[in-house]
């Protein structure tokens, strides 16, 4: 962008300021892990995707601001567009301004002699799988209100109302942009109308905060649906090349896996998504030899980041496809090959982690679906089974700490204060139930409060962390209170830590990559005449169902999302990296009236060392779905599927040839 002229916009009646990158007093880039995402592109800088912000118009009302924004004049010099990660990964030119190279990250690990194991295998299958980019489609687009305040000492500050998933990250990044101490910025969480990972990164928080700071007036910024679709990160499209071997009885012998993922221009959490995909590449199975490499690539396509499942969905669509192909070679059923390979306590999984008794849930889920599976097979119905695992929490070497406060008031009420984002998943209900369990109080006397004024900072509400770590910290606070007699007026703080995990890069023979896993088996039964999905049986091991009704609701929603992922949803871009979908209607989301019957069954196989044995339910929800759908479709027409979405080719990704070699 060689020139930006805001004069015409500034002249519009009702416009207070037109802000550009030149007006930013502090950091010009933000980011959860890497600070590489520009708040605004400066004159002389380079736009890297269509969601980049060039200017912010501050006006009396939304209509005036939009009318003035259309008057901002821009002059560009066209540059090469990299919309294909297969091309970008070997390109000499950088896709993103002021960053070195197009490789965001590479995650690798290996155990055993994989090539030797494959050479000695009775059966070997090779397949390249492709998943698509999809949108979260949360109900409420991003909205932020920033209000200037004055501290007791007379210094200026800012109170920001944010619907993000991590108010502490928001606070620290806003303070950096304004070049002020973080103590002068308070970020208060408001209910956000859904997120699924799409509100981990800041969207308009920094822009609203900057506008309020500069003008000295309260400023609200609410994205339109089109702006929201352009700006926030999506699920990663990943291409995965699998070579898998087994013996004559169908027991896995070796896996060689290569992955390449399109992360868009900025980091977000893309490197962690590909790392998680790599870690989960072998699914919930025992594999003696394994060799995995996963590369996250920067392109000019829509940015990708966190989304429910966080890399496990993509990997296990591929791994489940491999299992079904091997089962056909061996001459056994899809259920049987999974039964012969499922993880068990003491087994070495994936990157080398020795599994504990928590993995008994995988076998329990598989056994729970056996009768329905065999009945459908005997009736000649097209059926597929998928098995999956997904970690809860962050793991991979992160030091995770969550805190909560319990306070007994003179009026007899009990305050439970935490800092998790309520997105409809029921974290408030979990906190309430834990307090009632530990304190023995009437639930009507408990007030659950999201408190962002204290240094409780638990990080992002993501990865099924809210239930797991929230319950642990509230329970600890309650126990500390009981030990001290539950005195009035005292803030009893509790803490829950998970600080013992390893990253894939740690040189440890048997690393603990994750502290906790959830497991699920799903059956998909098709109409024999049409091939439409008729029934889904979803069996999920949640460790302990703190609130069974909330668990069932989470799983039903997950199945809806998983069927859309498998069959119809997508967010493709053209060769110029311009998204082809700009409304909810075009995303391919399955309408409620078109959903099949969904039967949810809960399995409770406690996780050792976890609060109440909890494993979480949000992340694992749709991990097995696509694999089960693909197997059912193969049973219906004999065709193997390798690209998502399976029923909407126009929503698929079409990259250059790449087989992982």
Start-end of H helices in 280-392: 312-330, 334-341, 360-378
Residue 450 has pLDDT above 90, yes or no: no
CA dihedral 206, 207, 209, 214 (to 10 degrees): 130
For residue 363, is pLDDT > 80?
A: yes
pLDDT score of 304: 98
Report how far residue 273's alpha carbon sits from residue 280's, in angstroms, rounded to the nearest whole number: 11
The whole-number pLDDT of residue 233 equals 97
* Average pLDDT rounded to a whole number, residues 139-161: 94
User: 458 phi and psi, to 5 degrees?
Assistant: -100, 5
Counting residues of the chain whose pLDDT is more than 90, the rounded percentage is: 82
Residue range 618-638: mean pLDDT, rounded: 96
> What is the model's pLDDT at position 459?
63
Dihedral angle of Cα 122, 253, 505, 132, to the nearest 10 degrees: 60
Q: Which pLDDT band holds residue 47 (cuts at 50, 70, 90)?
A: very high
The pLDDT value given to residue 60 = 98
Query: pLDDT tens digit string along 84-101?
Result: 999 999 999 999 988 889
Task: List pLDDT tens digits, range 575-625.
Answer: 999 999 999 999 999 999 999 999 999 999 999 988 889 888 888 989 999
Higher per-residue confidence, 13 vs 392: 13
Lowest mean pLDDT among 161-170, 244-253, 449-458, 493-502: 449-458
Contacts of 220 (CB under 8 A, 6+ apart): 143, 144, 145, 146, 208
pLDDT at site 453: 63
Looking at residue 464, its pLDDT comes to: 64
- Read off the pLDDT band of 168 (50, 70, 90): confident
Question: For residue 419, what pLDDT band results from cuts at 50, 70 and 90?
Answer: confident
- Kindly tell me if the per-residue pLDDT of 643 is higher than 80: yes
Residue 429's pLDDT band, with cuts at 50, 70 and 90, is confident
> What does DSSP say about strands 56-59 and 15-19: parallel, antiparallel, or unpaired?
antiparallel
In contact, 317 and 131? CB cutoff 8 Å: yes
SS3 assignment for 9-73: HHCCCCEEEEECHHHCCCCCEECCCCCCEECCCCCCCCCCCCCCCCCEEEECCHHHHHHHHCCCE
CA distances from 206 to 23, 158, 172, 516 (A): 12, 12, 11, 34
The pLDDT of residue 276: 95
Q: Please give the domain boundaries of the chain with CATH numbers for all domains.
A: 3-78+137-231 (3.30.365.10), 104-135+234-395+506-651 (3.30.365.10), 400-498 (3.30.365.10)
Name the helix (H) or strand (E) containing 635. Answer: helix 625-637
Q: Is the predicted pLDDT of residue 457 greater than 70, yes or no? A: no
Does 505 score more than 90 pLDDT?
no
- The whole-number pLDDT of residue 462 equals 55
């Amino acid at each position: 962008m060689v020139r930006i002229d805001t004069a015409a916009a500034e002249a519009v009646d009702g416009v207070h300021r037109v802000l550009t990158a030149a007006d930013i007093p502090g950091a010009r880039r933000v980011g959860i892990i890497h600070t590489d995402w520009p708040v605004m592109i400066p004159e002389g800088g380079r736009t890297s995707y269509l969601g980049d912000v060039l200017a912010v118009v501050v006006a009396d009302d939304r209509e005036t601001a939009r009318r003035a924004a259309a008057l901002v004049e821009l002059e560009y010099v066209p540059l090469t567009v990299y919309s294909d990660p297969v091309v970008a990964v070997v390109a000499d030119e950088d896709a993103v301004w002021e960053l070195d190279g197009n490789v965001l990250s590479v995650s690798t690990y290996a155990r055993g002699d994989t090539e030797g194991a494959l050479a000695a295998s009775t059966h070997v299958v090779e397949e390249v799988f492709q998943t698509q980019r999809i949108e979260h489609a949360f109900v409420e687009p991003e909205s932020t209100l920033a209000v200037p305040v004055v501290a007791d000492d007379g210094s200026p500050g800012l109170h920001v109302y944010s619907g993000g998933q991590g108010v502490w990250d928001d606070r620290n990044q806003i303070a950096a942009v304004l070049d002020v101490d973080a103590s002068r910025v308070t970020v208060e969480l408001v209910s956000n109308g859904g997120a699924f990972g799409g509100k981990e990164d800041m969207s308009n928080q920094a822009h609203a905060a900057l506008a309020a700071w500069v003008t000295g007036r309260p400023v609200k910024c609410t994205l339109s649906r089109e702006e929201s679709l352009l700006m926030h990160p999506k699920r990663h499209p990943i291409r995965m090349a699998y070579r898998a071997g087994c013996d004559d009885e169908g027991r896995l012998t070796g896996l060689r896996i290569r992955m390449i993922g399109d992360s868009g221009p900025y980091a977000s959490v893309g490197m962690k998504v590909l790392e998680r995909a790599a870690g989960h590449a072998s699914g919930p199975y025992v594999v003696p030899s394994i060799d995995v490499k996963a590369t996250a690539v920067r392109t000019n396509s829509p940015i990708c980041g966190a989304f429910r499942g966080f890399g496990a969905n993509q990997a296990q669509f591929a791994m489940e496809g491999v299992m079904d192909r091997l089962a056909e070679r061996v001459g056994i059923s899809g259920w049987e090959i999974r039964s012969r390979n499922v993880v068990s306590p003491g087994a070495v999984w994936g990157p080398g982690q020795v599994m504990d008794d928590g993995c008994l849930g995988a076998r329990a889920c598989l056994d729970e679906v056996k009768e329905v599976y065999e009945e459908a097979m005997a009736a000649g119905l097209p059926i597929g089974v998928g098995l999956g695992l997904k970690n809860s929490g962050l793991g991979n070497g992160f030091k995770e700490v969550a805190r909560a406060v319990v306070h007994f008031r003179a009026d007899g009420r009990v305050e439970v204060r935490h800092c998790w984002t309520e997105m409809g998943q029921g974290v408030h209900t979990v906190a309430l139930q834990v307090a009632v369990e530990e304190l023995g109080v009437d639930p009507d006397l408990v007030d659950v409060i999201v408190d962002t004024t204290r240094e409780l900072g638990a990080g992002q509400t993501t990865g099924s962390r809210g239930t797991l770590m929230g319950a642990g910290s509230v329970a600890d606070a309650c126990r500390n209170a009981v030990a001290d007699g539950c005195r009035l007026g005292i803030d009893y703080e509790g803490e829950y830590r998970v600080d013992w995990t390893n990253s894939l890069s740690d040189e440890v023979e048997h690393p603990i990559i994750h502290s906790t896993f959830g497991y699920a088996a799903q059956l998909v039964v098709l109409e024999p005449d049409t091939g439409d999905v008729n029934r889904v049986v979803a069996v999920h091991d949640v460790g302990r169902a703190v609130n069974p009704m909330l668990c069932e609701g989470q799983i039903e929603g997950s199945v809806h999302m998983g069927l859309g992922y498998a069959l119809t949803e997508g967010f493709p871009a053209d060769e110029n990296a311009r998204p082809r979908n700009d409304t909810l209607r075009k995303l391919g989301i399955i309408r409620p009236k078109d959903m099949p019957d969904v039967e949810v069954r809960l399995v409770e196989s406690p996780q050792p060392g976890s609060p109440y044995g909890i494993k979480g339910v949000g992340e694992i929800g749709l991990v097995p779905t696509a694999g089960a759908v693909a197997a059912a479709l193969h049973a219906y027409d004999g065709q193997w599927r390798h690209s998502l979405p399976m029923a909407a080719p126009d929503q698929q990704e079409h990259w250059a040839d790449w087989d992982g070699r």
